[in-house]
Structure 1
């Protein structure tokens, strides 16, 4: 889990960031594994826990606030942003009118210096984007940041290579129902879209 940059780069040159082919079909609910909880920050400094999940004690209107499908895009290095965009942009277009779908692009920041309070606050401030309300999309699309050591988080998800992007589709119980990596292909996007539609119909 703590291998170095050069090992990641050597592997990256072999497969171009495509750690494995994405799922062809949705993972059945009975076989799906719970996605690990982790904390993220918005650019305004507010924090929250992901993923949102239905609990046994959630009732009434609280249930409606939990999305039926959540796409979580994980980026550990800036070099993977193009890969993340190849998934998130077409996904946001495909489900732009769905209130039951959330999309989170998560940038992980593990540098000791950048995680220090004053530096962290300045970094988040520089990442603030003006709210122009340009879009009438219903889909909730958020860019968030996670600071600190993510060793155990990555271990649970079996993430070794930090140079590529990782995509996880979660259901309303926070279970991983589909996953992909690297640059999206047309077939993989089609599979992702159909899997999301199945979750919306469940």
Structure 2
């Protein structure tokens, strides 16, 4: 019976794989495949986690999660986007003091060339690993959960790249999240990464994170998945600045000023 159900799920999902190969055009990056996150992944994940049904804590945790996700869905996100165009709040005008800055949660990212990296970068590696080039002490990390927000994160990263790219003191990551259960499977993931866009600039890394990111979002208090989120991290991996949606000229000036202040802290 399990084999029959698995076969039926594959039959349903196969057309969606073809649909996900459609491309969205960006005047900056050219064409990249449209990132689609299937709502069926929640059912598949729950179906495959039957062994947890005897775990009361896991059941309670899953119920709380379902209640949270139901209360905040696509239409709520879309309604908010129509009101503020993705600008949930203004960016920070200055850096967050290090004493109260929160640590950025651990995140594993994959690149189109097959590399895998964990963020934030370990500061001890910067000191102890003499075989590698010293890591930049400031990281600009932009997160995109849907294709609609990819241009939003570019509005932050490209001005920073133009201002600090030659110095090599700021490393830029643009991370797209793929929460589809199917795309998290190794064969599909490898195929997906092969067709994704590569960055020609070593200071600007275009990466992807696969799998369930619900608890990652909870740690960062991210609710709306249709807008973009940008964070500035110091050498310890702490969040010292953040911005939302499309960047304005004034916010870019704040960001560049904050980067300069962080570089002076080292």
Equivalent residue of 2:91, what SS? coil
Return the alpha-carbon distance in structure 2 between the equivalents of residues 39 and 194 of structure 1: 29
Could you tell me which of 174, 198, 211 is aligned with 1:148? 211
Q: Which residue of 1 aligns with 2:257?
A: 194
Structure number with greater Rg is 2
TM-score when normalising by structure 1: 0.90
Post-superposition, which runs of at least 4 consecutive aligned residues in structure 1 deviate over 6 A?
Answer: none
Q: Which runs of 5 or more structure 1 residues have no equivalent in the other structure?
A: none
Other-structure match for 2:135: 66
Correspondence for 1:111 among 169, 175, 180: 180
State which of 203, 210, 234 in structure 2 corresponds to 1:171: 234
| Alpha-carbon distance in 1 for matches of 2:111, 2:135 | 19
| 2:117 corresponds to 1:54 | no
Range that drifts further, 1-10 or 149-158: 1-10
- Report deviation, 1:118: 1.8
* Counterpart secondary structure, 1:114: helix
Q: Distance in 1 between matches of 2:104 and 2:175?
A: 14
Query: More helix by proportion, 1 or 2?
Result: 2
Q: Equivalents in 2 of 1:94, 1:44: separation in Å?
A: 27
Whole-Å Cα distance in 2 between the matches of residues 107 and 116 of structure 1? 17
Cα separation, 2, equivalents of 1:173 and 1:156:
17
Instruction: Name the one with the larger strand percent.
Output: 1
Q: Is the 8 A contact 1:55 1:173 kept in 2?
A: no
The CA RMSD measured in Å over matched residues stands at: 2.1
Q: Distance in 2 between matches of 1:62 and 1:55?
A: 13
Question: How many equivalent pairs are there?
Answer: 196
Whether the 8 Å CA contact 1:53–1:66 is kept in 2: the answer is no
Is 1:160 the counterpart of 2:223? The answer is yes
User: Which blocks of at least 5 consecutive residues in structure 2 are unaligned?
Assistant: 1-67
Counting only pairs closer than 5 Å after superposition, residues 9-158 of structure 1 correspond to structure 2 as 9-55=78-124, 58-59=127-128, 61=130, 65-129=134-198, 140-158=203-221
CA separation in 2, counterparts of 1:130 and 1:33?
29
Work out the CA distance in 1 between the residues paired with 2:235 and 2:133. 10
Q: Deviations over 1:69-120 (max 9, x none)?
A: 1000000000001111111111110111122210000000001222222221
1:130-171 Cα offsets, whole Å, 9 max, x none, are 85xxx6xxx611000000000111001000000000000000
Distance apart, 1:58 and its partner CA: 4.1
TM-score (norm 2): 0.69
Alignment correspondent of 2:37: none
By how many angstroms is 1:128 displaced?
A: 4.6
Greater relative contact order (CA < 8 Å, ≥ 6 in sequence): 1
